[in-house]
A and B are shown apart, each in its own frame.
Chain A
Amino acid sequence: MTAPALEVASAAQLGQIALDVSLGVDAGRCLALAGPSGAGKTSVLRTVAGLLRPSRGRVRCGDEVWLDTERGVARSPDRRRCGYLFQNYALFPHLRGWQNVAYPLRGGKRSERRARAVELLERFEVGHLADVRPGTYSGGESQRVALARTLARDPRVLLLDEPLSALDARTRASAGRTLKRTLASSDIPTLVVTHDFDEAALLGDEIAVIDNGKILQRGTASELAAAPVSSFVADFTGAVVLNGMASPGPDGLTAIDLGGGATILSTEQGSGAASASVYPWEIELAPIDAPAVGSAQNRLVGRVVSSTTVANRVRVTVDAGQPVTAELTGPGARVLDLAVGQQIALTWKASATRLIER
């Protein structure tokens, strides 16, 4: 086994948060650092780029050591060859598109630098912006020009800080695909920071969930969703988290007492204070007087709090002692004829219920 292409360790006190993260990324792979804002994700990127000097830390890229606080090594940002895509894209307002992209290019004739810059712009389908200043760019155009500029320096590592958050919902999908294609063809390690789990799942080969300056769990999106190590990770992946007390139940299952007389079952083992997590798309809704169908062993009754349409799905939040969100298709929701305040039954399988001891 060879060492990863990029190794980062960073420990620093950032206001209230004690950052202490260490990670490695292989060449050609993308690790998404995901977590709520203020968790310290961006500080990890800044450590790699040299924009933040941690009190203790080490950054190694390939065979170059960029930072080693123990040995007193700290290369300045301009000597690290990082492709850093800033959250607001940070295009230079006084330079035309091609001049922005050519900014990191040195030596050679002006015409050669221009040709190289235009080539990069065309690769991202924004060749027409070569002679236009950034003031008039749309969000998507800014992102593409910034990405072209980031790659112009032939970086050894790619650092993307919330690359899609400055875009409106419509542009985000296509910009996400552009980014995904770029990452797929890249042979350098990439770190991408995002507060959105779906974005992390789209861009990252792996996801590291960060909260309060620490990595809570690292794995593929499906690994995190299937076996979250904590209720925070479960919640972050979009699962419904129910808190209660676990004890041995019937048929070798675990019963979780949610309080208020409600009990649910899980096929996973555990006891004591625990969180049960279940994904919204695994929960079915039914009128409370309908007979039980199928093998779903968990049933809670509650009142509809809200129902929102997201793309072709409807998210229904129900107050069943604890809030539960179910996700169903539009036609399914119409059949139920949901109304806020209406009593409704939620059902799901014991095998879809993951158990996390607290």
Chain B
Amino acid sequence: MRSRLGRAVARLFPVALIVAVAVTLVFLALPVIAIFADVSPKQLIDSLDDPATVDALRLSLQTTLTALLIILVVGTPVAWALATRRFRGRQILVTIIELPLVLPPAVAGIGLLAALGPKGILGPVLDSLGIALVFQTAGVVVALTFVASPFYLRQAQSAFESLDRSLVEASRTLGASEARTFARVACPVAFTSLLSGAALAWGRALGEFGATLVFAGSFQGVTQTAPLAIYAQFGTNFPGALALAAVLVAFSVAILGGVKLLGRLQPA
């Protein structure tokens, strides 16, 4: 025998589900919609004429794409090595690589300062090589690479791990070296997975705030990326901040949509 309470719960559960979904949807979507509701298209276009805004967008694009390039060029072979090699300490290495995922961005910035700053561990070395990172555009790239690389590495590693092993072995028995197999078989076959990993990393880099601010500062045209510009402007020029935010949202949606589309295009 079910109690009256049990029957009531059973009846109400579907209703509760609908309410929960509705609340979630409104909570997550409303701020995004509000950005576009609060700023008229004309205001949006006008504010894009503001030099600080233009600088921020240009810098964001430049630094995130540079960081992405570094992540792809260095990270893809690293992911391949982690996916195909079994060695002592591998698990520790994987954990270290994933660490930036859970590290608060401000902590990441402090860490980068302690490692690469003028008084950091490698400071004298970098200084003697004539490399300055702090308060420099290059520093922004370092911070973005640091926080965004795990997103790509994780995805690429699992993509290579789920690769049909016989394809790799077939390539080897057909006379291809490991390097050729990596370039001609592994990367092309895992391409859509790698691309979605790259999109995730790019999305993370575009939104980066804390590590960049702590490590590179916020100087217009040099280290002030779009998220930093939004923070700098919203006290003085709220419509400008909104316009920048709208551009970032549009970018993020485009990236997310691209990833979803790729996932659907990928043959089963």
Contact = CB atoms under 8 A, between A and B. Distances in A.
Say whether A associates with B: yes
A94 B188 contact: yes
A139 to B, nearest CB: 16
A85 to B, nearest CB: 9
A90 B164 contact: yes
Interface residues of B, number: 18
Interface stretch (B23-31, B55-63, B89-97, B174-182): B174-182
A78 interface: yes
Q: For the complex, would chain B's binding face be called helix, strand, loop or mixed by DSSP majority?
A: helix
Nearest to A80: B173
B171 to A, nearest CB: 7
Contacts of B171: 92, 103
B167 interface: yes
Given A81-B175, A103-B176, A92 B185 contact: yes
Contacts of A83: 173
Nearest to A106: B175
A135 B173 contact: no
B38 interface: no
A190 to B, nearest CB: 15
B162 interface: no
A84 B170 contact: yes
A70 B214 CA distance: 59
Contacts of A106: 175
Given A88-B166, A93-B267, A78 B189 contact: no
Given A88-B166, A92-B189, A82 B173 contact: yes
Contacts of A77: 169, 172-173
Contacts of B185: 92
A135 B174 CA distance: 21
A331 interface: no
A149 interface: yes
Contact of A90 (B170, B176, B191): B170
Nearest to A86: B166
Interface in A37-93: 49-51, 76-84, 86-88, 90, 92-93
A76 B177 CA distance: 8
A104 interface: yes
Nearest to A159: B173
Identify which of B170, B177, B185, B191 gathers the most chain A CB atoms within 10 Å of its CB: B170
Nearest to A95: B188
Interface string B110-149: 0000000000000000000000000000000000000000
A153 B170 contact: no
B166 to A, nearest CB: 4
Contact of A104 (B164, B169, B175): B175
A93 to B, nearest CB: 6
A104 B188 CA distance: 17
Interface of B: 164, 166-167, 169-177, 184-185, 188-189, 191, 267
Given A76-B172, A78-B172, 17 more contacts: A50-B172, A77-B172, A78-B174, A79-B175, A83-B173, A86-B169, A90-B169, A90-B170, A92-B167, A92-B188, A93-B189, A93-B267, A94-B188, A94-B191, A103-B171, A104-B175, A106-B175
Interface of A: 49-51, 76-84, 86-88, 90, 92-94, 103-104, 106, 135, 149, 152-153
17 contacts: A49-B169, A49-B173, A50-B172, A51-B169, A51-B173, A77-B172, A77-B173, A78-B172, A78-B173, A78-B174, A79-B175, A86-B169, A86-B170, A90-B164, A93-B267, A104-B175, A135-B267
Question: Top 9 A-B pairs ranked by shortest CB distance?
Answer: A90-B170, A77-B172, A90-B166, A104-B174, A84-B173, A94-B188, A86-B166, A104-B175, A78-B175
